[in-house]
A and B are shown apart, each in its own frame.
Chain A
Amino acid sequence: EIVMTQSPATLSVSPGERATLSCRASQSVSSNLAWYQQKPGQAPRLLIYGASTRATGIPARFSGSGSGTEFTLTISSLQSEDFAVYYCQQYNNWPPWTFGQGTKLEIK
């Protein structure tokens, strides 16, 4: 089973600033990685797939990068609606498809 580790657990950033979230895989997942955003009381929403391709309707301020075992989600200029929990998920090896434990992005 591939273990996904996200860091930091909590990230405090001011609105308008840049946020950088990390995800590490226990072994290479190539570019088979997705990112999700989850707001309180809501289901996760797909942001990024293929490590760097934005899903339909996702603003350009969200970008993903990386391959192999190291991945980054960057939010270029934080808006109030971006404060949420973010999860990465690998789909290179299965079963199981596995998620990271999440990074909570909070207002500084």
Chain B
Amino acid sequence: QLQLQESGPGLVKPSETLSLTCTVSGGSISSSSYYWGWIRQPPGKGLEWIGSIYYSGSTYYNPSLKSRVTISVDTSKNQFSLKLSSVTAADTAVYYCARHQKGYDRPGRWFDPWGQGTLVTVSS
């Protein structure tokens, strides 16, 4: 079945750029039925959608993060990636990647399945 796996540094210094990659296995990232998303969860807190990307490169970003976020896709590697610039301690969180179900009338609906998540700590 479809699996997603996040990878990247677990520690990032303040003001630097957080970079993560999500590798998709058991299915193609080039499916026309899905977007691919990033969601984060600060320790002990709730879920925040960061952004989503289609295999063509079309993106949606959370307006609250838009100025700092870039999501890209590499269909040849079946991967998509997240870059978050100028990080602060407030960006410390578990970062999840997930498949974002596309709708006939909307770009994204629910998220399923999710990767296991990776904790990124922002600290000097």
Contact = CB atoms under 8 A, between A and B. Distances in A.
B64 A89 contact: no
B109 A44 contact: no
A102 B46 contact: yes
A98 B48 CA distance: 7
B110 A89 contact: yes
B86 to A, nearest CB: 20
B64 A99 contact: no
Contacts of A46: 110-113
Nearest to B96: A43
Nearest to A49: B110
B46 A49 contact: no
B114 A44 contact: yes
Contact of A96 (B64, B115, B117): B64
Interface stretch (B18-26, B55-63, B73-81): B55-63
Contact of B109 (A1, A49, A100, A101): A49
**Interface residue range, chain B:** 20 to 34
Q: Is the interface of A mostly helix, strand, loop or mixed?
A: loop
A100 B60 contact: no
Contacts of A55: 112
B47 A87 contact: yes
B111 A89 contact: yes
Contacts of B45: 101
Interface string B113-124: 111110000000
Interface of A: 1, 32, 34, 36, 42-46, 49, 55, 87, 89, 91, 94-102
Interface of B: 37, 45-49, 51-52, 60-64, 96, 98, 101, 103, 106-117
Given A95-B51, A101-B45, A102-B47, 18 more contacts: A1-B63, A34-B110, A34-B111, A43-B98, A43-B116, A46-B112, A55-B112, A87-B46, A89-B47, A91-B106, A94-B60, A96-B62, A97-B49, A97-B52, A99-B47, A99-B48, A99-B49, A100-B46
